[in-house]
């Protein structure tokens, strides 16, 4: 079956919420244990920065670092569990039609835009994620760099040491499913970066479907 | 080995501090811009977890992620700069006789040792680093996982995705030298981990020196 946003939107379960996050925008939601969050590529080559926080204890957050160590891989995809800073199972990747994500942590910020491109003013994921989670009483300092998992982002870790951002390979209708293993707060930033290959130099919308 | 020891002892400048951190222990210190910190592996195959914070504003702490991106390398070694979360330079690595370090972030912790090895009540770098910096008024929450750079830690990023801790390749007398680019607080934990290959299953002491280049 050909990949399409329509096909990807047909989930195996009851839809709780369905929404298109406009380009450069963000969304925050509460996700109960057992629910699944699907993130769908609409135009392709767009990444989503996600922060996962324990809804009952905001100091317990996703740790991309422990997620890599405990799974024994830096290529986190379908079949892998993402762990918290307390090393507890937090979110499981139950489907991933791309197989290319970034578990190195961090997000674009005003500082990184200033340092790298001499321009502090563009929209950035740090502000987006902070704003997405503010409604739940999460402070900016709790949106730590290692609490961020970026789906579809293509970062090379080459044998020669090169670490660089490359163009995503995701196409329209590609998707990734995150299943909650605890009650979670989720911050999503439809990454607004247009100055590097992260989103192939153009910020685009992404769709999510929350279902159970 | 004797040769390496002599080289590790010899610095180009005046030594203002020279201390052996016993196995599993910690230390905290400050560096002014231009001051250098040398970490010496005494017996070999021992790693040091280091946390770096701006002394002027500790919220501006090391970010290993930005360090990787801004240096365009995940093999951070001599010639690279440690950057903060606000992309400010904190320190340059001016010497590194090993060339293998981890800029992945995080430190061993009570929680991780319980989950990974089913062993509670272990000495761990997270507590060590917090204790090392407590004297400077730094709280545990101010040293997030991304603020930690581990000298000599050997973690693979294989093409097939394998990501594992291997024994360090450092030998007695090997050392790494950092030159501060700002006033910084540095927390040091002589990693107490003995449950994996990180220190080749035995925690050992390390020596630290502060000097000013002559
Ligand atoms: Zn971004
Ligand atoms: Zn440790």
8 A C-beta contact, residue B95 and residue B177 = yes
- On whether residue B141 sits in a domain, the answer given is yes
A9 touches chain B (CB under 8 A): no
pLDDT in the model for residue B20: 98
Rounded-to-integer distance, Cα B30 and Cα B46, Å? 23
Give the H or E element holding residue B151: strand B148-151
- On whether residue B5 sits in a domain, the answer given is no
Using 50, 70 and 90 to split pLDDT, how confident is the model at A2?
A: confident
Tell if the pTM clears 0.80, that is, is over it.
yes
pLDDT in the model for residue A93: 98
Quickly tell me which residue has 């390390």 as its tokens.
Answer: B206
Ligand 2 center to residue B152 CA distance, Å?
A: 12
Report the domain count for chain A.
Answer: 1
A115: nearest CB among B59, B87, B115 = B87
* ipTM metric: 0.94
pLDDT in the model for residue B175: 98
> pLDDT by residue (tens digit) across A26-42?
999 999 999 999 999 99
- On whether residue A1 sits in a domain, the answer given is no
Residue B3 in this model has a pLDDT that exceeds 70: no
> pLDDT by residue (tens digit) across B151-186?
999 999 999 999 999 999 999 999 999 999 999 999
Tell me whether strands B101-102 and B89-96 are parallel, antiparallel or unpaired. Answer: unpaired
Average pLDDT over residues B36-62: 98
Using 50, 70 and 90 to split pLDDT, how confident is the model at B6?
A: low
> pLDDT by residue (tens digit) across A39-55?
999 999 999 999 999 99
pLDDT in the model for residue B5: 52
pLDDT in the model for residue A173: 98
B106: nearest CB among A65, A74, A161 = A65
- On whether residue B25 sits in a domain, the answer given is no
Per DSSP, chain B holds a count of helices (H) and strands (E) of 4, 13
Q: Give ∠ CA B73-B74-B77 in degrees, rounded to 5.
A: 80
pLDDT in the model for residue A32: 98
**Ligand at shortest distance from the CA of B108:** 2
- On whether residue A3 sits in a domain, the answer given is no
Rounded-to-integer distance, Cα B77 and Cα B96, Å? 6
pLDDT in the model for residue B213: 84
Residue B43 in this model has a pLDDT that exceeds 90: yes
Which A residues, 49 through 108, put their C-beta within 8 Å of a C-beta on chain B? 59, 63, 65-66, 68-75, 83, 85-88, 104-106
Report the domain count for chain B.
Answer: 1
Residue B150 in this model has a pLDDT that exceeds 80: yes
Range of the domain at B69: 45-181
% of residues, chain B, pLDDT over 70: 97
Using 50, 70 and 90 to split pLDDT, how confident is the model at B9?
A: confident
- On whether residue A208 sits in a domain, the answer given is no
- On whether residue B214 sits in a domain, the answer given is no
Using 50, 70 and 90 to split pLDDT, how confident is the model at B12?
A: confident
- On whether residue A114 sits in a domain, the answer given is yes
> pLDDT by residue (tens digit) across A93-139?
999 999 999 999 999 999 999 999 998 888 999 999 999 999 999 99
Rounded-to-integer distance, Cα B85 and Cα B87, Å? 5
> pLDDT by residue (tens digit) across A153-203?
999 999 999 999 999 999 999 999 999 999 999 999 999 999 999 999 999
Q: Would you say the C-alpha torsion A107, A108, A114, A116 has a positive or negative sign?
A: positive
- On whether residue A2 sits in a domain, the answer given is no
Using 50, 70 and 90 to split pLDDT, how confident is the model at B8?
A: confident
With CB atoms and an 8 Å threshold, state whether B145 touches A59.
no
Residue B2 in this model has a pLDDT that exceeds 80: no
Closest-CA residue of A relative to B143 is A144
The mean of the pLDDT values for chain B is 95
Residues of B in contact with A109 (CB under 8 A): 85-87
Per residue, what are the HEC states of A94-125?
EEECCCCEECCCCCCCHHHHHHHHCCCCCCCH
Range of the domain at A94: 14-201
Task: Give the start-end residues of each E strand in chain A.
Answer: 15-21, 26-31, 36-41, 48-54, 81-83, 89-96, 101-102, 148-151, 154-157, 163-166, 175-180, 184-190, 206-211
Residue B196 in this model has a pLDDT that exceeds 90: yes
With CB atoms and an 8 Å threshold, state whether A87 touches B65.
no
- On whether residue B133 sits in a domain, the answer given is yes
């Amino acid at each position: 079956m050909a990949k399409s946003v329509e096909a990807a939107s047909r989930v195996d379960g009851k839809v709780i919420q369905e929404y298109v996050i406009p380009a450069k925008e963000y969304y925050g939601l509460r996700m109960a244990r057992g629910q699944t969050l699907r993130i769908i590529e609409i135009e392709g080559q767009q990444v989503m920065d996600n922060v996962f926080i324990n809804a009952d204890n905001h100091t317990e957050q996703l740790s991309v670092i422990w997620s890599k160590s405990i799974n024994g891989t830096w290529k986190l995809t379908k079949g892998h569990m993402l762990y918290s800073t307390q090393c507890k199972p937090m979110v499981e990747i139950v489907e991933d039609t791309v197989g290319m994500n970034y578990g190195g942590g961090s997000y674009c910020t005003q500082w990184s835009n200033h340092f790298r491109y001499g321009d502090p003013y563009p929209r950035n994921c740090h502000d987006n994620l902070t704003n997405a989670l503010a409604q739940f009483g999460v402070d900016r300092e709790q949106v730590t760099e290692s609490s961020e998992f970026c789906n579809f982002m293509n970062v090379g870790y080459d044998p020669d040491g090169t670490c660089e951002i490359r163009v995503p390979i995701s196409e329209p209708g590609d998707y990734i499913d995150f299943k909650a293993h605890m009650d979670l707060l989720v911050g999503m930033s439809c990454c607004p970066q247009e100055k590097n290959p992260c989103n192939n130099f153009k910020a685009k919308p992404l769709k999510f479907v929350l279902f159970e | 080995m004797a040769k390496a020891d002599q080289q590790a002892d010899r610095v180009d400048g005046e030594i203002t501090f020279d201390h052996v951190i016993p196995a599993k222990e910690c230390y905290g210190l400050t560096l002014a811009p231009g001051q250098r910190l040398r970490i010496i592996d005494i017996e070999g195959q021992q790693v040091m977890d280091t946390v770096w914070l701006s002394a002027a504003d500790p919220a501006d702490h090391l970010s290993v992620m930005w360090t990787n991106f801004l240096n365009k390398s995940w093999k951070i070694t001599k010639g690279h700069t440690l950057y903060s979360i606000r992309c400010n330079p904190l320190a340059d690595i001016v010497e590194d006789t090993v060339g293998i370090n981890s800029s992945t972030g995080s430190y061993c912790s009570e929680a991780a040792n319980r989950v990974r090895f089913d062993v509670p009540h272990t000495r761990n770098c997270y507590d060590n680093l917090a204790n090392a910096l407590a004297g400077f008024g730094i709280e545990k929450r101010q040293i997030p996982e991304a603020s930690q750079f581990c000298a000599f830690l050997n973690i693979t990023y294989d093409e097939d995705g394998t990501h594992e801790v291997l024994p360090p390749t450092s030998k007695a007398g090997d050392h790494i030298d950092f030159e501060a680019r700002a006033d910084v607080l540095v927390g040091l934990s002589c990693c107490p981990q003995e449950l994996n290959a990180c220190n080749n299953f035995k925690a050992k002491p390390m020596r630290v020196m502060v000097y000013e280049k002559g």
